[in-house]
Structure 1
Amino acid sequence: MTEKDLIKNIMHKLAKIDARMAKQDDLDDLHEQLFEQDELLKGLQDSIQELKVNFEMKYAESINSEDVLLRSVLDRQST
């Protein structure tokens, strides 16, 4: 193997290593983005849970108000 062939071989292997390193960098970026998305989704999930609880409370208040109103109307009719 000549010196020129050896240099070509080394350059080829270095190019492969460089390509793998670029892929690893891409994976690191992707991992970071996925982590950020996960954090955002957790925040969104918490907000949805708060909204659900708030909706359930308002629904219960509405049902109670309707019940009180209905009883008031029925009491007036019976007197």
Structure 2
Amino acid sequence: MTKAKKIDKSTIEAIKKLLQKYDLQDEDRIVIDMKNSIITEYEKTSISDLMGIRGTISDERAQEWLKENEEMRERW
């Protein structure tokens, strides 16, 4: 899994300025696919998505993973 990295304020402001033409709001969350040159709306993973991989990890681990991901997103 790729580790999230904090972006400094001046870089965020520069990115916002570059993306103004896409009519994004400050509360929007997006994913930028550099390889395919696309921007998509970020979709929060739900527990049902995690349960879709039920055979791969235990229910307990799925719950832990969800909590870890939510905590990581809050730090962004």
- TM-score for both structures, normalised by structure 2: 0.25
- Bigger proportion of residues as helix: 1
- Whichever structure has more strand as a proportion of its residues is 2
Larger radius of gyration, structure 1 or 2? 1
